[in-house]
Structure 1
Amino acid sequence: MTAAPERACQASGGVRPTGVERRLGAEELIVTKTDLQGRITYANDTFLRISALVEEETLGRPHNIIRHPQMPRGLYSCLWSTIAAGEEMFAYVKNLATDGAHYWVLAHVTPSITPDGKPCGYHSNRRSPSRSALPVVEQLYARMLRAERGLPANEAARAGVQVLEEALAEAGTTYSGWIWSLEEEGAS
């Protein structure tokens, strides 16, 4: 299933969430690749289908065309600083398809490296997250969003990061440790 081209063009800001949720199948994987600026250079069929996109309208577009308004800027700030430093990151992400549906993923984002060791882009695999983790994740993300509300973008990101760091310090863990503890709880 592909979206009409006008839907793909709306994705950068004109799409309103409908409240309809899509779910990845247990065996499905979303795969995308981007350049260093976050422009999509590859998208698999699962990504296109679940995001209601067509390949011709997707390649070359910024990956944030699927950014859901209920995702805190602070999380993306952490993500970008982590991968820009050459490290991998796992993150729970709520995305917005171009038809207004949303879907949750557990994303694994890594830098792509040339044979001579230089970063040339990013690679992300996403799978279905533990359903039992989502209420906990949504609660933390809502706290981050409240701290970010009404602030300019850079200040909002810093405020969200601060809430995230405080929550993780309270829990005595890192973001990765928190992610995996939630995934393990959901598996048991």
Structure 2
Amino acid sequence: MKNRQTPSSQERVMREGDFIVSKTDLKGRITYCNRVFIEFSGYQASELMGEQHNIVRHPDMPRGVFKFLWDTLAQKKECFAFVKNMCKDGSFYWVFANVTPDFDANGQVVGYFSVRRKASTKAIALMGGLYQAMLEEERKAGSKDACDASLALLTNTLKQQGVSYEQFVLSL
């Protein structure tokens, strides 16, 4: 049921104080979503439950960002990221996401929690430009090497600024 809508230029802006919360299983299938996620995504809860979280993935998001996210989660670490999501009707909304592994009593990862809040205007402008450059690198590299190419651009950008990824995103 992946979102097959055509992206539009219509932006939905989150309200201050709103939090989008979801939980997924190990494969990224949605097992919980709060009312704010339902509202902003434009889907009904029944349309989201059991679906891959990438149902809201916007095509303006580089694949390399999600590879970085999944690689970080595989190390049992939390990850922060700015994400442009697409609604069921093709409109979009930006979020600042925190994704963290969900551990059972034995310390095994059983799923993932994600809490998203409104992204700042400054962060959207900066990340939008960076993501466009990453997408261009992915396009030039071709499907097989797309993630590596865009991650290399991100890594080089961070190195030039002398900051870690986490320092970079948390400063915006």
TM-score, normalisation: structure 2: 0.96
Gaps of 5+ in 2: none
Structure 2 residue aligned with 1:186? none
Alignment of 1:165 onto 2:155: yes
Alpha-carbon distance, 1:123 to partner: 0.2
CA-to-aligned-CA distance 1:105-134 (integer Å, 9 cap, x gap): 000000000011000000000000111221
Alignment of 1:103 onto 2:93: yes
Alpha-carbon distance, 1:154 to partner: 4.2
Runs of 4+ in 1 over 3 A off after TM superposition: 150-154
Alignment of 1:63 onto 2:53: yes
Taking the aligned partners of 1:72 and 1:42, their CA distance within structure 2 comes to 25
Partner of 1:15: helix, strand, or coil? coil
CA-to-aligned-CA distance 1:51-95 (integer Å, 9 cap, x gap): 001111111000000000000001100000001110001100000
Partner of 1:121: helix, strand, or coil? strand
Map 1:57-96; keep pairs closer than 5 Å: 57-96=47-86
Alpha-carbon distance, 1:150 to partner: 5.4
Aligned-residue Cα RMSD (Å) equals: 1.1
On the 8 A contact 1:73/1:153 being kept in 2, the answer is no
Amino acid at match of 2:44: V
On the 8 A contact 1:73/1:156 being kept in 2, the answer is yes
Taking the aligned partners of 1:139 and 1:90, their CA distance within structure 2 comes to 18
Partner of 2:171: helix, strand, or coil? helix
Q: How many residues align?
A: 172
Taking the aligned partners of 2:136 and 2:93, their CA distance within structure 1 comes to 22
Gaps of 5+ in 1: 1-8, 183-188
TM-score, normalisation: structure 1: 0.88
Map 1:4-19; keep pairs closer than 5 Å: 9=1, 12-19=2-9
Structure 2 residue aligned with 1:181? 171
Amino acid at match of 1:37: K
Taking the aligned partners of 1:82 and 1:117, their CA distance within structure 2 comes to 17
The sequence identity of aligned pairs, in percent, is 41
Partner of 1:149: helix, strand, or coil? helix
Partner of 1:20: helix, strand, or coil? coil
Alignment of 1:48 onto 2:38: yes
Alpha-carbon distance, 1:152 to partner: 4.6
Taking the aligned partners of 2:123 and 2:84, their CA distance within structure 1 comes to 13
Alpha-carbon distance, 1:174 to partner: 1.3
On the 8 A contact 2:63/2:146 being kept in 1, the answer is yes
CA-to-aligned-CA distance 1:141-181 (integer Å, 9 cap, x gap): 11100000155544111111111111111111111111122
On the 8 A contact 1:33/1:124 being kept in 2, the answer is yes
Structure 1 residue aligned with 2:28? 38
